[in-house]
Structure 1
Amino acid sequence: MIVRIMGEGQVELADSHFTELNKLDDELLAEMESGDGPGFRTTLHALLAKVRELGTPLPDDALEPSELILPGWDATLEEVREMLSDDGLIPG
């Protein structure tokens, strides 16, 4: 799956990693619902770091359609809230 991190670029990520990423996504969703700003920031950074760690970066000139778009590291709680679906940022 091709994942775009806004403001950074794209990575290719194996579907097998989504169980691990969904745990962080669930934590992020809970922090957003409770209004835990510091926890939200920490978990967002952890989620993005895990995507970078597990994914393979695509070249900057690659224009592959992104199947999943994640906010950048500096996104606010309100900006991320607008991006959420019922499943969080990561479906499943």
Structure 2
Amino acid sequence: MIVRIMGEGQVRVAESHLPGLNRLDDELLAEIEGGDHEGFRRTLGALLGAVRSAGEPLPDDALQPSQLILPAADATLEEVKAMLKDDGLIPG
């Protein structure tokens, strides 16, 4: 799966990492819904860190369609809330 982190680029992440990423996404969704800015910041950092460590960066000149788009590390709770779908940032 190709994941784009806004402002950073794309990484290829194996499907086997999705359960762990979904757990972080569920936690992030709960923090957004609860207005927990401190928890949101911590969990967004953990989610992006997990994608970076699990993924293989694609070259900057690679033009692959992204199956998943994640916010930048400095995105606000309100900005991420606007990006959410019914099941969070990561489907499933």
TM-score band, normalised by shorter chain: over 0.9
Q: How much identity, in percent, do the aligned residues show? A: 73
Length-normalised TM-score, structure 2: 0.99
Alignment of 1:3-82 (within 5 A): 3-82=3-82
1:86 counterpart residue number = 86
Q: Flag structure 1 segments of 5+ consecutive residues without an equivalent.
A: none
RMSD (Å), alpha carbons = 0.4
Deviation at 1:32, TM superposition (A): 0.4
Q: Flag as ranges the 4+ runs of structure 1 deviating above 3 A.
A: none
CA–CA distance in structure 2, aligned partners of residues 56 and 68 of structure 1:
15
Q: CA deviation at 1:27?
A: 0.4
Give how far 1:71 is off: 0.1
How far, CA to CA, are the matches of 1:69 and 1:32 in structure 2?
A: 17
Task: Give, in angstroms, the shift of residue 62 of structure 1.
Answer: 0.6
